[in-house]
Amino acid sequence: MKTLKRFVAYYKPHRLLFSLDLAAAFLMAGCDLFYPMITRSIINDLVPNHSVALFIKGCVLLGGIYLFKAVLTWFTAYWGHTVGVRMQADMRRDIFRHIQKLPFSFFDENKTGALLSRVVNDLFEITELAHHGPEDLFVSAVMLIGSFCLLATINLPLTLIIFAFVPFLVWFVMHIRAGMLSAFSKSREQTGRINAETESSLSGIRVAKAFANADYECEKFDRATDDFVGARQGVYLVLAKFMTGMQLSIDLLTLVALVAAGSFVFWGKIGIGDFAAYLLYISMFTNPIRKLNQFVEMYQDGMSGFRRFCEVMDTEPEQDPTQPVLPADFEGTIDFEDVSFSYGEDAAVLKDLNIHLPAGHTVALVGPSGSGKTTFCHLIPRFYNATEGTVRVDGVDVQDIPYQLLRKNIGIVQQDVFLFAGTIRENIAYGNLSATEEEIIEAAKQAELHETIMAMPDGYDTYIGERGIKLSGGQKQRLSIARVFLKNPPILILDEATSALDTVTERAIQKGFDKLAHGRTTLVVAHRLSTVKNADEILVLTPNGIEERGTHETLLVQNGIYAKLYVTQFQQQ
């Protein structure tokens, strides 16, 4: 019931148009109800009495009713569906905006393809349900009640005999409803899975080709497809039972009406015109039943998708503090006070860290893979919240700072570059959407990218393809660096930012980084130790915590972990 109330709430912005749609549907039902009564009058009175003039008027009246009904049909078909598609759009906007507010941990657990399925596929049937659901229920109720009242005026006992079937139909629908909901929900889940498999395989198509694993990818896709087919077969099995039962009930109802009404004619209880009216009403009476049949299928399909929509909407978003505290100025001082962090139930990645990073200093994080360097950096912009302890920026707990404001003052360049499908200009401008053309060009120059861009046929309007596939690895990395130059934040996080660059370009970029880092707090995560030699302080992070800290020269003298790493890389070079 709670889910249904949430669904109904989406009608509110469109209540005027929805009300007009129901009014049109009501008038259409009224037109259908008048037709048998006029036919009855023609058969019982006008034809036997040779009332030609009245007969012509009756036919003209029926023609006018049909034309009026045609106009109403157009209105409900167009504007009714418009209400549905607008509601669907509202839901899509809501879920997309909500997804933008969800924490990193949510995306760690949910595949992109499965989320895409919830945004697109799960809401696809909402248009039909939003339009036809209430309309079919309303029209069916009007037709059933109207038919009963009009037929009761002809012969009440016969009407009661025919309508005695209605409770059995209601019981049958309720009995099979649970099975339909379960089948449709499973089908939705399998649709999400096959979307996730497809998205993953197509995104990694070049890797699959490089490893000659096309057959393996096809096998994975086939398994997901087979599961989807099985789920849909479950849906069709339940639907077959439902539709068979409903069709048999409708046919038996028609047979009962024919036998009962014919018997009443033989007994002299009703006339031939009344008999015809009964058969016409039974024919119309079965239409609402068929509509109810369609509604049940539509409702289960649509609401199973809406429930999956609600599951995402009910996921707790990132929370801004109820009483935000803002630093007097973002200078960039960072403090870790007894900070520990773990992913879910896993062992702690960071444990009992106590670190003070002065504003304007460049601090490097080095150490083996898996020691928590990237996790360390992710705690500062609150991509994850510390399991224990406090992370502070300029003396303020990061959980007391609105996350949008916090992240606007932190620039991040990562090893795994993500670029949006679009132009070079659009991707650089992502660092500052209000930047001028001159500022975009200056950021590209600082990232040593301007000359490369100008050598391209379309310059800054060059389309880079999905995920920047048309650019080289170095070009993609420099473009992401340009975005941060444009953002110009007081805190920089460079997570293996130059790992994809050649030595010459790396040196040129490093000069730009040195210039950008001046007066700003900069955290550099690096395996290539040549890039961190000039850092104000180097932290050697291992699974046991911070094993060593100091300048490049100090750590070499200590002849510890850092010195061994440096000597190893120097010998390799």
Task: List the chain domain ranges.
Answer: 14-313, 334-572
Residue pointed to by tokens 């003052």? 409
Half-sphere exposure of 563 (CA within 13 A, CB side): 9
Neighbours of 106 (CB within 10 A): 16
Q: Residue 521: which of 326, 355, 298, 274 has the closest Cα?
A: 355
pLDDT of residue 568: 77
C-alpha–C-alpha distance, residues 225 and 461, integer Å: 40
pLDDT of residue 208: 63
pLDDT of residue 178: 61
Fold of 334-572: Rossmann fold (3.40.50)
> Could you give the strand order of the β-sheet that contains 537-542, starting from the edge strand earlier in sequence?
410-414, 491-495, 521-525, 362-366, 537-542, 545-550
Is-contact 483 431, C-beta < 8 A?
yes
pLDDT of residue 392: 92
Tens of pLDDT, residue by residue, the chain (573 residues): 677 888 888 888 988 988 898 888 888 877 777 777 777 677 766 666 667 777 777 778 878 888 888 888 888 888 888 888 888 888 888 888 888 888 888 888 877 777 877 777 777 777 777 777 787 778 777 777 777 777 777 777 777 877 777 777 667 766 666 666 667 677 767 766 777 777 666 666 655 655 566 777 777 777 777 777 777 777 777 767 777 777 777 777 777 777 777 777 788 777 777 777 777 767 666 667 667 667 776 777 777 778 888 888 888 888 888 888 888 778 888 999 998 888 877 777 888 888 898 888 888 888 887 788 888 888 998 988 888 999 999 889 989 998 888 888 888 887 777 888 888 888 888 888 888 899 889 888 888 888 888 988 889 898 887 777 788 777 888 888 888 888 888 898 888 766 656 666 667 667 667 767 777 888 888 777 777 788 888 888 888 888 888 888 888 888 888 888 878 766 555
Write a three-state SS string for 109-147: HCCHHHHHHHHCCCCCCHHHHHHHHHHHHHHHHHHHHHH
pLDDT of residue 390: 92
pLDDT of residue 170: 66
Check the CA dihedral 529-532-538-541 and report its sign.
negative
Is-contact 569 562, C-beta < 8 A?
no
Cα-based angle 403, 404, 410 (whole degrees, multiple of 5): 85
Class of domain 14-313: mainly alpha
What is the number of residues in the chain?
A: 573
